[in-house]
């Protein structure tokens, strides 16, 4: 199976490197500046599960794609989706599948409108990684999980083929018969984590260390869970219990990628992670004051960033 990884940032670079290391046929579609670094330094992974590097196969423009590809693994920031679609569209063939690993749910509607529902899979990954200043990908925690499935929950031959591709490459991978539910649960976790860490400006450990901190975290998570339930995807009791444990662990260094982006002065996915969820809350007449406050704060930050530098990273 030929796979095109769209973006060799933290998430796409990490999973793509694992697949390439295992001998899968992986090509990365990257910007010229990133391509230069990767050709010179290789694609390097460092962190909690050890260090390794691969020399990736790269393309850096639509004209050089050499498609079609069987699987398009889409891992860009949500605000970069429109440009990414333009970039990888020439790589699509009649049987090509798109496996998106973006945050939130809005991207599913965008992709199905562009390519048709039959071309789009559901995807969910949980991994804590970030690019360092030298272009290497640093793994911050041991968990590395990927789930994928048909949007209608069926176990089709093509999903079985994707599952075969993902097995035995160094991360926890499995096909799902309820991928939309898993994507909603991740959204609840990510939005709660992002709202809490960005609003309170700290890691989970920082927040729970102060009086009332854990309570604030769980109130914003409850708001997110209530929205998901109103939209037909109530989080399961098992998810809720596990999520509470993760979100209230004393001393935890856990923080959202959005908080790390905020701390670095980079663009944030406020509309895709928080804004879209808040809009659904308002359409369902659900009061979510903490989510609303976090969304407003990050919108102010992003507006200032855009005004100071219109080319601040959005594609």
Which of 57, 77, 186, 311 is flagged as catalytic?
186
Helix axes 276-283, 213-230, angle to 10 degrees: 60
Which residue's structure tokens are 């406020």? 270
Burial of 104 (0-12, 13-18, 19+ CB in 10 A): buried
The CA–CA distances, whole Å, from 35 to 41, 53, 56, 57, 59 equal: 10, 15, 9, 10, 8
- Between CA 182 and CA 160 the distance in angstroms is 18
First vs last C-alpha separation in the chain: 29
SS3 61: coil
The CA–CA distances, whole Å, from 286 to 277, 279, 282 equal: 11, 10, 6
Q: Are 66 and 59 within 8 A, CB to CB?
A: yes
Respond yes or no: is residue 311 known to be catalytic: no
- Taking alpha carbons only, the member of 67, 116, 107, 103 closest to residue 87 is 67
Beta strand residue intervals within 18-68, DSSP E: 25-29, 43-47, 52-54, 57-59
DSSP H helices, 235-288, are 237-247, 257-263, 270, 276-283
Question: What are the residue numbers of the active site?
Answer: 186
């Amino acid at each position: 199976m030929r796979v095109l990884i769209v973006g060799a940032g933290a998430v796409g670079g990490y999973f793509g490197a694992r697949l390439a290391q295992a001998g899968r046929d992986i090509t990365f579609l990257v910007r010229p500046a990133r391509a230069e670094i990767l050709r010179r330094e290789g694609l390097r992974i460092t962190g909690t599960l050890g260090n390794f590097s691969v020399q990736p196969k790269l393309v850096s423009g639509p004209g050089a794609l050499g498609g079609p590809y069987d699987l398009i693994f889409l891992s860009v920031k949500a605000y970069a989706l429109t440009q990414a679609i333009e970039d990888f569209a020439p790589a699509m063939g009649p049987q090509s599948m798109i496996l998106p690993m973006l945050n939130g749910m809005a991207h599913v509607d965008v992709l199905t409108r562009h390519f048709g529902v039959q071309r789009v899979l559901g995807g969910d990954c949980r991994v804590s990684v970030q690019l360092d200043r030298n272009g290497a990908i640093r793994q911050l925690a041991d968990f590395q999980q990927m789930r994928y499935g048909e949007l209608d929950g069926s176990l089709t031959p093509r999903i079985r083929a994707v599952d075969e591709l993902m097995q035995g490459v160094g991360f926890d991978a499995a096909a799902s018969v309820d991928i939309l539910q898993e994507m909603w649960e991740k959204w609840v976790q990510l939005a709660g984590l992002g709202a809490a860490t960005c609003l309170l400006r700290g890691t989970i450990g920082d927040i729970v260390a102060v009086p009332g901190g854990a309570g604030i975290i769980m109130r914003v998570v409850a708001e997110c869970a209530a929205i998901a339930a109103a939209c037909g995807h109530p989080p399961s009791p098992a998810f809720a219990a596990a999520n509470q444990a993760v979100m209230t662990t004393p001393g935890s260094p856990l923080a959202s990628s959005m908080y790390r982006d905020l701390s670095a002065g980079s663009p944030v996915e406020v509309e895709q992670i928080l804004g879209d969820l808040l809009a659904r809350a308002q359409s369902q007449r659900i009061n979510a004051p903490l989510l609303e406050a976090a969304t407003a704060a990050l919108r102010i930050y992003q507006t200032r960033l855009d005004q100071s530098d219109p080319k601040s990273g959005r594609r």
